[in-house]
Amino acid sequence: MDVMVICFDASSDAKNALDELLGSGEFKNISEVISMSLLNYQVIRHAVAEGGGQTLIETGVANHAEDGRKDAEPKVPFAKIPEVFRAVQGDSTGLSLVEPERVRSTGAEAPPKDWLWGQYNRFLPAKATCRALLNLMGKNPAGLPVDDAVAKISYAACGLGDFLNSIDMRLQLSRENAMKAAFPTSDINGGESRLRFGNQFVGTFKQEKLQGFPADLKLVVSEGGKEPKLLLTKAGAAFADLANPVLDTRDEFPRTRLSDEEIAFLLSHIKEYVPQELSAFICVIDGIESGANTPDGLDSYVRTRFNLSEAAMKASFLSTQRTGVVSRMVDLGLLARAKEGLRVTYVTTHPGKYFRSQIA
């Protein structure tokens, strides 16, 4: 990592703010405070310039004039959805869209190491990326340079994260049910989560291969030589074009992340183009239906099914893979979680049982 030394004058107010932030214990040193401040200011500047993602926060006591009461009532941040995530803003004909690559099935099950990465735990971030890329391609029909696309979409995602966070706070949603899961926000710690969102849910190159949830789902691809461009597949464009209960809502408090139409599309697409995800779904449903309906029980079932020793696969990695696929299946309505105190059990839903019955 390149390091740059910068000297600057600080007002007394700025110095006091710096001291307060250092005293909070959230930062290791002055360098970390300043770096994070610059990153977050950049997010806010981009959001304001694009007319979206602004967050207005009110604090204090609510004044109820109608009955003269003053109740201590914390105000919830207000935010709006950045326009780049709204319904497609132009004609999508004439865009360079690629046919998704089909992987020839060998008939063998994909083991957990080949499942989609467990950190991909929600489909809404992938939907947001596809929607944003479709809108951005309206002015760039041949696609956008990958770094450009990652920067634009991840910056805007902070504004969307603020909006989703406001929903979570108003509805008092638990962490497992939170709308903003996997999204960055424009708060003081938003810089790191923005970078993570860009890498995981927009795209990044590793060993000259585009990686990320949308790419693994065959919804986006990269084309070009030294300066590759990010563009949608035909499936990615079709998915982006579907109405979404969050991105296209007229309801102030949407309760679901995906529509029934989007879920049906994803399940059909996964069966045709993403065999490792299909394999994971089948394995998990079979395990739960056999009685392995707890996190530990399901991990044991997977080890037995694929003959995986601790040496062959660490418990932490298997847990990450299992957690990810379970979360994605809950997102698609194939599974439900039941909680009794600290005990968590998994239940296959009726749609999940029907989905399994359609797979030979």
Domain CATH number, residue 298: 1.10.10.10
204 and 183, same domain (yes or no): yes
Is position 4 within any domain? no
Residue 179: CB atoms within 10 Å = 23
pLDDT along the chain (360 residues), means of 10: 57 60 57 57 48 36 38 54 85 77 77 96 97 93 93 95 90 85 82 91 90 96 87 95 89 83 98 96 98 97 96 95 97 94 93 95
208 and 340, same domain (yes or no): no
Is position 16 within any domain? no
36 and 134, same domain (yes or no): yes
The answer to whether 246 and 123 have CB atoms below 8 angstroms apart is no
Report the 3 state secondary structure along 200-266.
HHHCEEECCEEECHHHHCCCEEEECCCCCEEEEEHHHHHHHHCCCCCCCCCCCCCCCCCCHHHHHHH
Q: Which domain holds residue 310?
A: 275-360
84 and 127, same domain (yes or no): yes
305 and 335, same domain (yes or no): yes
Total domain count, the chain = 2
130 and 56, same domain (yes or no): yes
Tokens of 61: 């006591």
231 and 279, same domain (yes or no): no
Query: Who contacts 235 (Cβ-Cβ below 8 Å, separation ≥6)?
Result: 100, 218, 219, 269, 273
Query: How far from 290 is each of 110, 278, 348, 356, CA to CA, in Å?
Result: 19, 18, 11, 13
The CA distance from 121 to 103, in Å, is 23
Would you put residue 14 in left (φ > 0), alpha (ψ -120 to 50) or beta?
alpha
239 and 339, same domain (yes or no): no
At 338, give phi and psi (nearest 5°).
-120, 135
Query: Who contacts 206 (Cβ-Cβ below 8 Å, separation ≥6)?
Result: none
The answer to whether 45 and 158 have CB atoms below 8 angstroms apart is no
* pLDDT given for residue 52 in this prediction: 43
Using alpha carbons, select from 195, 180, 86 the residue that is nearest to residue 134: 86
Is position 290 within any domain? yes
Sign of CA dihedral 203, 133, 145, 104: positive
* pLDDT given for residue 206 in this prediction: 85
88 and 227, same domain (yes or no): yes
* pLDDT given for residue 159 in this prediction: 93
83 and 207, same domain (yes or no): yes
pTM equals 0.78
